[in-house]
Structures are given as C-alpha cells and as structure tokens.
Amino acid sequence: MEPVVFAAERFGFYTPFFELLTDGLIHKTYKVTANNRAAILQQVNTNVFRDINAVVGNYQLIDSHLERSGMLRVPAMIKTMQGDDTWTDKEGSCWRAFEFIANTYTEALPASPEKIFSAAKCYGQFTSSLSGLDIEKLKPTIASFHDLSHRYRQLQTAISNANDERLKKSRTLLEKITIRKNLVEFYESLKSNPEFKIRAMHHDTKLSNILFDKATGQAVCPIDLDTTMPGYFFSDVGDMIRSMISPSDENAPADSVEVNPEIYRAIVSGYESGIGNSFTTAERNEIHKAGMIMLYMQGIRFLADYLSNNTYYKIKYAEQNFDRALNQITLLEKLEEFLDA
Ligand code: GN1
Ligand code: MG
C-alpha cells in the first residue's frame, strides 16, 4: 500500500482516491477523496521543518486570528482519528491534513496580469489581516530563513568546503554575487531602522500557493503556511516578483528568462492594494528592492546547495542547482536593467 493511503486512513479517509498535487522542492502534497469528502494531505519534510510543533502552533494561531478578523480564511486543519495534529509513519515521515476548499483551484505560470494582481493583493491582505496578531507568538519555523546576511555567510562556508571542479564552474556566478554585496548591506541597514517593521510574512509566495475561486477567478486565500513567521517587507512581494515575472520558472534554462513588465506592475500594484497602510512610507519607497533581494537570496541558496553537494533542494539531474542559481542571477540582471530603464 502507498504511504499516502496509510496516512489518509489515520485522518479518517478510508480506501481513498488520491492524486499527487505538487512535488515541491521540500514537501509532497496530495489530494485525497473518500466518501465524497476531500482533503489535502501533506508529507512534511522534517529535516527542513525540525520543529513541527512550531509549524502546527503557528497555523492554529493564524487560523483563529483570521477567523476573528473575518476577512480571509485559510483551510482548517484536520486532526487524526486519535485527535492529534500530525501522524508519523513507520518510515518517520510526518503527515498532516487540511480541509479541501470546494470550488477552488491553483494556477500555473504563465498567468494573466489580472490573475497575478489578484494573487498579489491576497498575499498583501494576508499580512495586513494579521497585523493585530502579537508577533512574539509567531515562531520562526526555520531559523534565519530570509536573513540575507546568514545566506551570504552560508555561501562563504560552502565555498570553503567545495570541490575544485564545482568551484571553478561557479566562478563567474560568484563574481556576480560578490559585486552585489550592497544588497546584504541594505539588509543589514533595515534591521536597525525602526521604519522597517517585523510582521507576519508568508515567505513562499509562489502563484501555486494561492487558491482561486472557480466561479469568480479571484484569489481566495494563501496556502502552505509553514514558513509564515516574522519577517521584513521584502519577502512576500519580492518572492512573487522572483517567482512570477518570467514566463518560465527557476527550473528553465537561463537563456529563456525575461522580465514581463505588465506582470511586474501587476504584482507591485496588487500587493500595495492588499497591504494598504500596513506598510510604512520607508517600506513603500523601497518596494522595488524586494524582487532584487529575493532573486539574489535564492540564487545564493541554490548555489550554496550546489557547492555543498545538493543536500537541501531535490534535484532531477546533477547540475540542476547550479542551473537554478544561474537562472535566478540572470533574472536578477534582467530585473536590474528593467528597473534602471
Ligand atoms: C522551497 O518547497 P517549496 O518549493 O515550496 C523553499 C523556498 C524557495 C523555493 C524555491 C522551506 O519551497 O524558500 O523559495 O523552494 N522552501 C523552503 O523554489 O526552503
Ligand atoms: Mg513551500
């Protein structure tokens, strides 16, 4: 029997029909259906999310806060038949389940500027709806997750331990990263400036993490809240820019990446309309740095993983993390040209 079937039964879905929805770089996500009930079942990567209690606790905190604010709802968690939040199988994989919101679907790239605007607005509303939440209660589920200085240091460590061949192949990319160290300095300057607030950020704002309504085509809510934790202004709008401005994603060949100006504008204006006056003037003024920071950080993360022999991101072929890093830094160069013009 497939592990997903065992897991589904623990959550009360017997002899389910199941389909793999996304095989993300970190988790596996399934839709399971039994007796006309559907749920989302997820196998959590506990090497990445070591503190599953923090993940679950954050989700419950967010869900109940949003319920009270009445603006936006996220899928409810489903408990196991024993009343637990998660279930660990005999291979040690941790599983949890969520309500499947009927009449919703996810979009893939390329998507229209209208769809992207709606998604961006929804991510903005998510953070603004959580503005009343005591940020101290939200736990960092991955330490220093979008800490650019930390990511830069990880790359330096990876460089010192890398083999010569990988290092040689990475030389040009590493130069491009080094000459953009001003982004790390900008990040450092944020931390001591009270104009830049720490608030609840989703931290993984790809298009496929938004549910859309089948009838209206409008965004309903963000999903995949595992990395929702305290963060700075650039993370969500920046990760949208990073993951949506090019018609092809981070796995595409670097020579195929390009900036779609209409999409860029849809992200920024959609996000601004969603976040409303939760953003300070300083944050509003620096919004165009967001995409650059996130492309830079993701390029660094992929390259560091390549230099460390691919221990973090799933790969389909040996050089894939190098190619992903090249894709992200190429898109960064194109974004800089676009913003300069
Ligand atoms: C990971 O697993 P997935 O695809 O949702 C990563 C993100 C990266 C993304 C790049 C916990 O997200 O930070 O932006 O890959 N999540 C984690 O595709 O590291
Ligand atoms: Mg994710």
- CATH number, position 237: 3.90.1200.10
Examine the domain organization and report whether 153 and 191 are in the same domain. Answer: yes
* pLDDT for res 70: 84
**pLDDT, tens digit only, all 341 positions of the chain:** 889 999 999 999 999 999 998 767 778 899 999 999 999 999 998 889 999 999 999 999 999 999 998 889 999 999 999 999 999 999 889 999 999 999 999 999 999 999 999 999 999 999 999 999 999 999 999 999 999 999 999 999 999 999 999 999 999 999 999 999 999 999 999 999 999 999 999 999 999 999 999 999 999 999 999 999 999 999 999 999 999 999 989 999 999 999 999 999 999 999 999 999 999 999 999 999 999 999 999 999 999 999 999 999 999 999 999 999 999 999 999 999 999 99
Could you tell me the distance, in angstroms and rounded to a whole number, from the CA of residue 190 to the centre of ligand 2?
25
Among protein residues, the one with the nearest Cα to ligand 1's atom 1 is 25
Residue 52 resides in a domain = yes
Contact 65, 133 (CB under 8 A): yes
Residue 23's pLDDT is 66
Torsion of CA 193, 156, 203, 192, to 10 degrees: -10
- Are 91 and 133 within one domain? no
How many Å apart are CA 330 and CA 253, to the nearest integer? 10
Does residue 145 sit in the same domain as residue 225?
Answer: yes
Residue 108 lies in a domain: no
Cα of 223 vs centre of ligand 2, distance in Å, is: 9
The answer on 226 and 173 residing in a single domain is yes
- From 22, 23, 26, give the residue whose CB has the most ligand 1 atoms within 8 Å, as the site to mutate: 26
The half-sphere exposure of 310 on its side-chain side, counting CA atoms within 13 A, is: 15
On whether both 148 and 288 belong to a single domain, the answer is yes
| Domain harbouring 21, CATH code | 3.30.200.20
Nearest CA to ligand 1 atom 5: 24
**Inter-residue contact 249 to 263 (CB < 8 Å):** no
> Amino acid letter at 340?
D
Judged by DSSP in three states, 17 sits in strand
Handedness of CA 44, 48, 52, 54 (dihedral sign): negative
Domain co-membership, 203 together with 304 = yes
- Establish if 319 belongs to a structural domain: yes
249 lines ligand 1 (CB under 6 A): no
**Whether 84 and 119 share a structural domain:** no
Residue at which a domain ends, from 46, 68, 102 = 102
Q: In one letter, which amino acid is 162?
A: A
Residue 197's pLDDT is 97
Residue where one domain finishes, among candidates 45, 76, 102: 102
| Per-residue model confidence (pLDDT) at position 195 | 98
Same structural domain, 92 and 128: no
Q: Which helix (H) or strand (E) segment is 217 a member of?
A: none
Question: Based on the domain organization, do 320 and 199 belong to the same domain?
Answer: yes
Q: Would you say residue 12 lies in a domain?
A: yes
Place of tokens 């650039």: 234
Residues 37 and 166 in one domain: no
Q: Are strands 199-201 and 28-34 parallel, antiparallel or unpaired?
A: unpaired
Burial of 315 per CB tally in 10 Å (0-12, 13-18, 19+): middle
Domain identity same for 70 and 165: no
Residue 129 lies in a domain: yes
Q: Domain residues for 202?
A: 113-340
Asked if residue 83 and residue 186 are part of one domain, the reply reads: no
> Which tokens go with 306?
């390549």
**Is there an atom of ligand 1 within 6 Å of 140 CB?**
no
Does residue 236 have its Cβ closer than 6 Å to ligand 1?
no
- Domain assignment present for residue 209? The answer is yes
Indicate the pTM of the whole model. Answer: 0.96
Which amino acid, 217?
A: G
Among residues 43, 69, 102, the one where a domain terminates is 102
Specify if 107 maps to a domain.
no
Nearest CA to ligand 1 atom 8: 204
Number of domains composing the chain: 2
